[in-house]
Amino acid sequence: MGRKIEELGLSGEKDNFIRARPSEGWPVMVWFHGGDFNTGTPAIWDASIFVSKQKILVVTVAYRLNILGFFTTADGESPGNYGLLDQIAALNWIKDNIELFDGSSSNIIIYGHSSGAISVGLHMMSPLSRGKFAKAIAMSGDAISSVRMPQEEMTVIDEVADKFGCYRNTDDLMECLRNVEIDTLIRETADIETWGPIVDADTNNWTGGPFLPKHPRDMVQANEIYAVPLVAGFTSNEQALSYIESIGSENVDGRLPMHQFESLIREESSAAVIAPEENSTCELKPELVTDAVLFYYRPYPPTKDPKHLRDRFLDLQTEKNYAAGLTQLADKVSSHSTRAQAFVYRFDYRARTQAVTRDVPDWAGVPHMFELPFVWGLPYATGTNIQWNAADKKMTDLMMTMLATFARTGNPSISTIKWEPFSDKDPGILIIERNIEMSDSSAVDYKALAFWNEYYPNVLNAAINNCCNATNAVSAWRLIEMRSTSFVLVLLLSALRLLDDRRLV
């Protein structure tokens, strides 16, 4: 992938690269691209600059996407997770052959962004991936909360069957789909937004067993992870670009009135309350979830400032969908083994080069993907009309050096930056801005992370498991056994207020 070193005017670097090869071989970084498991390609980013400057081998992996990579019939007829099995096949090939390219088979680092980062996290949990890599880097993708159960795919199966006029019976459905022209199959299902991994314990028919025998949340809680040195991080305003797209161009400053603020949160929170089985008679109580989330994110003291409400809504998106899961995984890695350390960052640096950010308003801050130009060294790219600011070149030097140092040693600290490991007792996060330094207690809302990781799952469980014969004991307070809905609400909200006094120590 990418342009040849000679095309970049770096042929001298090529000679130095060959002469400087360490005896154990070069570190090997294996990139899984993003794209919501629906789109994307390894060719989006050119690794030539990073490779030539950091002396690291980079392998970019293609894997099946959308219906080809993640369709499941929720049984053994089409088990799902094909794209992840493609990634394992790539890791097997790299492990067996990378020494032919002067790479180190014992120092393979998997890394990725967005759905690529979700893939990285899942490989740290899958028994099929054990021993195939030595380190991991997950950027802006939470594996813990991004996996569905097979029963959640029923609506997708129905939609696919309807689109192509197929019988719903899985044998007939698969035979029908195999007769559809491949381009038509992909085009007609591209608008389905839920393609992705599932827990395939009950659907897999592979001789090697399931890719995910349990839900990632359960595996993390039980410390059933492949604990390797980890770098994990997110940007300060992950969902800002999606928010801008959703509100329309006429709302130039993204104002969010109170009624829309509450409506968006209620709609999103209610959607998470899904019956545990397709024909379940459980009484769902989404108001438990919506009230808890609104309680936490509604500003106190009260305000109707639409800009402040906008920022609170975007805080929710970053904390729930990225920061909480990534820090939880980092915590489990650091507590699982004394041999593996985890390092967490928050990328707050907004490019100083005007051509790069001019279409993104200042209030949007640093959205999803805004760290990637610095990871890949774009400020040094030739053949472009963009004149990058000197500060941006300095930032890309630092980002590339920290990641390459981690690939070599398992610790991303460099001579000018001391990056402290993340742990439950000392949950430090490196804030990457013009001045790069470890966070103080006010820089990160640790209480929000505790809300999503510790409190919210109990509330969600209480909202779902209201069944006459329910025996699920996930909730620490056994809320599902209580008969009075009003009493449940009072108890939940009282416990939530206690988070004000809670500190991670």
pLDDT computed for residue 329 by the predictor: 96
Closest among 132, 98, 134 to 25, alpha carbons compared: 98
pLDDT computed for residue 279 by the predictor: 58
Per-residue pLDDT of the chain (505 residues; tens, 9 = 90+): 344 444 545 455 555 555 578 888 999 999 999 999 999 999 999 999 999 999 999 999 999 999 999 999 999 999 999 999 999 999 999 999 999 999 999 999 999 999 999 999 999 999 999 999 999 999 999 999 999 999 999 999 999 999 999 999 999 999 999 999 999 999 999 999 899 999 999 999 888 899 999 999 999 999 899 999 999 999 999 999 999 999 987 888 999 999 999 999 999 999 988 876 665 667 889 999 999 999 999 999 999 999 999 999 999 999 999 999 999 999 999 987 667 899 999 999 999 999 999 999 999 999 999 999 999 999 999 988 899 999 999 999 999 999 999 999 999 999 999 999 999 889 999 999 999 999 987 899 999 999 999 999 999 999 987 664 433 333 332 232 333 333 333 334 444 444 444 433 3
Residues near 368 by beta carbon (within 8 Å), at least 6 away in sequence = 114, 140, 235, 238, 239, 240, 241, 242
Which active-site residues does the annotation give? 114
pLDDT computed for residue 216 by the predictor: 96
**Exposure string for 44-60, b = 16+ CB within 10 A, e = fewer:** bbbbbbbbbbbbbbbbb
Three-state DSSP class for residue 228:
coil
Residues near 461 by beta carbon (within 8 Å), at least 6 away in sequence = 472, 474, 475, 479, 480
Domains and CATH numbers, the chain: 6-253+314-444 (3.40.50.1820), 258-303+445-505 (no CATH)
Q: What is the pTM of this model?
A: 0.88
Tokens 């028994």 correspond to: 127
**What is the spatial distance between Cα 408 and Cα 27, in angstroms, rounded to a whole number?**
6
Verify cis geometry, omega within 30 degrees of 0, for the bond prior to 301.
yes
| One-letter identity of residue 451 | F
**What is the spatial distance between Cα 140 and Cα 484, in angstroms, rounded to a whole number?**
40
**Exposure string for 145-169, b = 16+ CB within 10 A, e = fewer:** bbbbbbbbbeebbeebbebeebeee
Three-state DSSP class for residue 213:
coil
Cα-to-chain-centroid distance, residue 31 = 14
**What is the spatial distance between Cα 377 and Cα 387, in angstroms, rounded to a whole number?**
14
Crossing angle for the helix pair 286-297 and 306-318, to the nearest 10 degrees: 120
Tokens 């967005």 correspond to: 114
**What is the spatial distance between Cα 217 and Cα 195, in angstroms, rounded to a whole number?**
19
Element (H, E) at 113: strand 103-113
pLDDT computed for residue 477 by the predictor: 28
pLDDT computed for residue 497 by the predictor: 46
Closest among 330, 503, 312 to 412, alpha carbons compared: 330
